[in-house]
């Protein structure tokens, strides 16, 4: 038995994977890891290997992420005008590129010195290396804040969201994606689910994420299963970094057999994640 990382309720061990223990809270229905990795040791150059950031002038991950971000920005723009947007966990800056193309003024925060250096080559001082807790941005400065594939890495999600709310203008919007423990893929694959990995320290269902947003001062505007644009080359590289029985061999073999033009063509796939847009309530500070 363990204590929940969020509500301090009782939590039960559900499985152990790669020496990491995963617990489910009986009260708030989140899953969290018992071990807390040191974040500064996680996001080195090797972490971004599936993206191909160091072995090509046009990384394999760029086309995937740009296509996904263009769609997600289109969804975000339904709930407010373009303006200043902060992307927390901006990595190499692909979202910042997509946002700039659509008329936004993009800013970024990235904890990884390796990735933030790549983003700074394109956006200079608009990218801050560090965390949202120590970022220099003024209160109520941004029209929107985005954080894709980020909150599952955060050891105190509610504190993180309150930092986001502080930086947002009244009525400002957020867009996020995160892994979804109520997804079919999680329920079927159980401990073999690819999203169960050491750098993910907390996992939400759709219900528990809505409750978290509400507690932090946000009103959910839109919710959907996340659909991402991926390529077979990207998927194969991902399963090389995160090996899975059969799947790693299958995708590696497929990519070797197919022409490069086909292996690098993006297609849409549901990723076992959720995509959420929410608005800062007028009373939130």
What value does the mean pLDDT take over residues 34-44? 65
CATH number, span 38-231+266-280: 3.40.50.150
Q: Name the nearest CA neighbour of 1 among 28, 30, 23.
A: 23
Tell me: the pLDDT tens digits for 247-285?
A: 888 889 998 999 988 988 889 999 899 999 999 997 655
pTM above 0.85, yes or no: yes
Q: Is it the case that residue 35 has pLDDT exceeding 80?
A: no
Q: Is it the case that residue 122 has pLDDT exceeding 90?
A: yes
Lowest mean pLDDT of 43-57, 157-171, 212-226, name the range: 43-57
Bridge pairing between strands 142-148 and 84-88 = parallel
User: Taking the CB of residue 40, how many other CB atoms lie within 10 A of it?
Assistant: 10
Per-residue pLDDT band at 148 (split at 50, 70, 90): very high
Quote the pLDDT of residue 233. 87
Tell me: the pLDDT tens digits for 196-249?
A: 988 899 999 999 999 999 999 999 999 999 999 998 988 888 888 888 878 888
User: Taking the CB of residue 192, how many other CB atoms lie within 10 A of it?
Assistant: 14
Q: Is it the case that residue 56 has pLDDT exceeding 50?
A: no
pLDDT higher for 142 or 240?
A: 142
What value does the mean pLDDT take over residues 75-101? 96
Q: Is it the case that residue 58 has pLDDT exceeding 70?
A: no
Mean pLDDT rounded to a whole number for the chain: 89
Contacts of 48 by beta carbon, 8 Å cutoff, 6+ apart? 54, 91, 92, 112, 114, 115
State the DSSP code for 9.
-
**By the 8 A CB rule, do 36 and 156 touch?**
no
Q: Strand, helix or coil at 176?
A: strand
Q: Is it the case that residue 141 has pLDDT exceeding 60?
A: yes
Per-residue pLDDT band at 52 (split at 50, 70, 90): low
Quote the pLDDT of residue 41. 63
Q: Is it the case that residue 54 has pLDDT exceeding 70?
A: no
Residue 38 to residues 61, 134, 153, 176, 271, Cα–Cα distance (Å): 26, 17, 11, 23, 26
């Amino acid at each position: 038995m363990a204590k929940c990382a969020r509500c301090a309720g009782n939590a039960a061990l559900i499985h152990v994977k790669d020496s990491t223990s995963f617990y489910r809270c009986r009260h708030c229905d989140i899953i969290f890891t018992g071990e807390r990795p040191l974040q500064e040791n996680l996001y080195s150059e090797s972490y971004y290997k599936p993206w191909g950031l160091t072995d090509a002038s046009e990384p394999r991950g760029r086309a995937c992420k740009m296509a996904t971000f263009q769609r997600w920005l289109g969804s975000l723009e339904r709930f407010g005008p373009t303006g200043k947007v902060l992307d927390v966990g901006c990595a190499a800056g692909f979202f910042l590129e997509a946002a700039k193309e659509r008329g936004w003024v993009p800013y970024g925060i990235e904890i990884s010195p390796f990735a933030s250096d790549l983003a700074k080559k394109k956006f200079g001082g608009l990218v801050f290396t560090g965390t949202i807790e120590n970022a220099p941005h003024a209160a109520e400065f941004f029209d929107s804040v985005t954080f894709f594939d980020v909150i599952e890495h955060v050891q105190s999600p509610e504190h993180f969201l309150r930092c986001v709310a502080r930086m947002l203008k009244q009525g400002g919007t957020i867009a996020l994606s995160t892994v979804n423990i109520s997804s079919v893929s999680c329920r079927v694959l159980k401990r073999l689910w690819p999203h169960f990995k050491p750098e993910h320290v907390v996992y939400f269902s759709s219900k528990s994420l809505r409750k978290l947003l509400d507690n932090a001062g946000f009103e959910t505007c839109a919710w959907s299963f996340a659909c991402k644009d991926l390529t077979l080359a990207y998927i194969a590289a991902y399963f090389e970094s995160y090996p899975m029985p059969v799947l790693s061999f299958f995708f590696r073999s497929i990519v070797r057999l197919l022409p490069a033009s086909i292996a690098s063509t993006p297609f849409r796939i549901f990723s076992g994640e959720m995509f959420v847009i929410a608005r800062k309530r007028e009373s939130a500070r």
